[in-house]
Chains A and B, each alone.
Chain A
Amino acid sequence: MANSSASSNAPAKKLNLSRFKNLEFVLGILLAGGIGLAVALSWLLFPDGGRAVNLMARLTPPFADPAHLLGTDPLGRDILARVIIGGRISLTVGIVSTAGAVIIGVIMGLIAGYYRGIWDMVVMRFADIQLALPFILLAITFIAIIGGGLVNTIILLIVSQWVQYARLVRGSVLALREREFVQSARAIGVKDINIILRHLLPNLLGPVIVLMTINVANNILLESSLTFLGLGVDPTIPSWGGMLAEGRTYLQTAWWISVFPGVAILLTVLGLNLLGDWLRDTLDPTGRTRI
């Protein structure tokens, strides 16, 4: 299966898209890296954590006061500072939840694909259940039980996302285990654990890395939706979703509160998606992670 799709997709690689692909890579790095850097430096740039209230300067429009380039909110807090600080939540949630999902999903997928049997059935049935339940409904119920907050949001994202890695890895393992190098390793009596770690894992990392990049982007979107709905991170901590929820009340009078945090989400996610797209062409030419 993997072999036949590889050969049918091969002619696509002949086209010379390198100039465009490089542009995609550069743009992606600039956006994701730039925002990541700004967020990392936020502890130095804004030691007050964006909490400085200044009622004299409340609801300053953007580009009017050089001290508040993107304007201020109803408490006179600087929007630019809060947007950069808000990135801490989004990036932390995006990266940590993806890492957790990858670890669980890859292990489960390896076991399911290599040993088949009951494990395989359990993992695949989990996948079915997950496909039938929209994430946001799972989230509503889950958060109602264990409450919101940063850690719970991360747990929720891990619980709902590991399955896609398990499915991807399982599929690749099913194809790989029939290949000659795996069969011969088994024939000469290499231990299962060594076959999995030395022969299977390195051969399926490409698609996993691609999926991870896109998954960080997606989890940033999901976290901001949850926080926006009041189900995610504590609203008193500056976060993009939380700022957007606050801004809705002032949509009539102060549009900038609702615009800039959204732009920040859009640019971060776009940067990651551009990188993911570039990585896919580089690491996953057979297109297993293609939507």
Chain B
Amino acid sequence: MAKFIFYRILQAIFVVFAVTLTVSFAIRLTGDPAIMLSQGAGSITEADLERIREALGLNRPFLVQYWDFVSGVFVGDFGRSFMGGTSVGALIARALPATLMLALVSLFLSIVISIPLGITAAVSRGKWADQAIRILSLVGLSFPNFWLAIMLVLVFSITFRLLPPSGMEGPISFIMPAATMAIILTATNVRLVRTTMLETLRSQYVMVARAKGLSETKVLYKHALRNCAIPLVTYFGLQFGGLLGGIVVIERVFNWPGLGTLAFEAVAARDYPVLQAVITVLSLLIVSINLLVDIAYGLLDPRIRTE
């Protein structure tokens, strides 16, 4: 087991390094921030541009810049934004909670909806309830998330004037972004719950529970659901990457002050340190969640370790 954990951690470290190295290298190909910064400043000479590059440390070799960034991350220093010199750490500290909160609320909402729906589908396999849930889930999978968001704004903000169309002010502004994400997540999760439940329902302890006369609700929600927990938690954990990616798009529609909005602004301004930091934080987050899920799964289910 120690070997398995060691190997997985090594792999995770490799992935984070590969991602950050690629991104830091790639973003430096996107354009010269010195030119972006000096736009509208009248006549700029090559010497001026060179001075800006020097001030930002961009004239150093790439690997030096990358090393600078990596060694900074280890002590929690993400450098300063090219735009106005704000500390990148502070920008991230403001944006990360907004994104994470939205992600967690969406995931929670989706789990709360998909567990009863998935169980219903599994129990009534092949009957009309199962088919209806299956079709609904296919429809949910087919929604462009940003369009669903726009439609919610059209109905609830413009037509009925019930909810704020954008921004993050209090719990009420969570409703539409979280609902958008939850609807799309639920489409997948219902199927996961259904499949996992079907496997569990075939097992002997469920037969025993039924045979000893427990009520069906108790059998399903107490005995079967508990045994579905491990695979389900794994699936939900592995979904996190996709979920964060979806939120990046949704943030644009709702003007949500999260990492997605930060990333888009950074690209537009060629603000290397900010984009580098956003991607590093997101990939660290996703890799560590996947790592935790894998290790937990390996501990709980010895068959995985041999992989």
Contacts of A16 in B (CB 8 A): 126
Out of A141, A259, A274, which one reaches B27, CB within 8 Å?
A141
Asked whether, in the complex, the Cβ of A291 is within 8 Å of the Cβ of B192, the reply is yes
CB distance from B37 to the nearest CB of A (A): 16
CB distance from A137 to the nearest CB of B (A): 6
B88 at the interface (CB under 8 A from A): no
Asked whether, in the complex, the Cβ of A266 is within 8 Å of the Cβ of B147, the reply is yes
Asked whether, in the complex, the Cβ of A270 is within 8 Å of the Cβ of B275, the reply is no
Mask of A1-36 contacts with B, CB within 8 angstroms, 1/0: 000000010001001110010000000000000000
Q: A141-B26, A252-B158, A258-B154 known; A133 and B279 CB under 8 Å?
A: yes
Task: Give residues 132-168 of B contacting A (CB, 8 Å).
Answer: 134, 138-139, 141-147, 150-151, 153-154, 158
Asked whether, in the complex, the Cβ of B23 is within 8 Å of the Cβ of A141, the reply is yes
Query: Could you tell me the distance between the alpha carbons of A252 and B19 in the complex, rounded to whole angstroms?
Result: 41
A185 at the interface (CB under 8 A from B): no
Query: Could you tell me the distance between the alpha carbons of A261 and B278 in the complex, rounded to whole angstroms?
Result: 32
CB distance from B204 to the nearest CB of A (A): 14
Query: Could you tell me the distance between the alpha carbons of A12 and B201 in the complex, rounded to whole angstroms?
Result: 13
19 contacts between A and B (CB under 8 A): A125-B11, A131-B241, A132-B16, A132-B286, A133-B19, A134-B248, A134-B286, A136-B260, A137-B248, A140-B264, A141-B267, A142-B26, A145-B27, A251-B153, A255-B154, A259-B151, A262-B150, A266-B144, A273-B141
Asked whether, in the complex, the Cβ of B30 is within 8 Å of the Cβ of A145, the reply is yes
Task: Give residues 214-257 of B contacting A (CB, 8 Å).
Answer: 238, 241-242, 244-246, 248-249, 252
Out of B16, B30, B192, B202, which one reaches A144, CB within 8 Å?
B30
Q: A140-B267, A258-B154 known; A132 and B15 CB under 8 Å?
A: yes
Contacts of A291 in B (CB 8 A): 188, 191-192
Mask of A94-130 contacts with B, CB within 8 angstroms, 1/0: 0000000000000000000000000000000100110
- Chain B's closest residue to A16 (CB) is B126
B65 at the interface (CB under 8 A from A): no
**Chain B residues bordering chain A, tally (CB within 8 A):** 59
CB distance from B260 to the nearest CB of A (A): 8
Mask of B192-212 contacts with A, CB within 8 angstroms, 1/0: 100100110010000000000
B131 at the interface (CB under 8 A from A): yes
B263 at the interface (CB under 8 A from A): yes
CB distance from B194 to the nearest CB of A (A): 11
Asked whether, in the complex, the Cβ of A229 is within 8 Å of the Cβ of B138, the reply is no
Contacts of B30 in A (CB 8 A): 141, 144-145
Contacts of A290 in B (CB 8 A): 191, 195
- Chain B's closest residue to A276 (CB) is B138
Contacts of A15 in B (CB 8 A): 125-126
Asked whether, in the complex, the Cβ of B138 is within 8 Å of the Cβ of A262, the reply is no
CB distance from A255 to the nearest CB of B (A): 6
Asked whether, in the complex, the Cβ of A134 is within 8 Å of the Cβ of B282, the reply is yes
Asked whether, in the complex, the Cβ of B248 is within 8 Å of the Cβ of A228, the reply is no
B121 at the interface (CB under 8 A from A): no
Asked whether, in the complex, the Cβ of B146 is within 8 Å of the Cβ of A228, the reply is yes
Query: Could you tell me the distance between the alpha carbons of A142 and B279 in the complex, rounded to whole angstroms?
Result: 13
A265 at the interface (CB under 8 A from B): yes
A221 at the interface (CB under 8 A from B): yes
A78 at the interface (CB under 8 A from B): no
Contacts of B198 in A (CB 8 A): 12
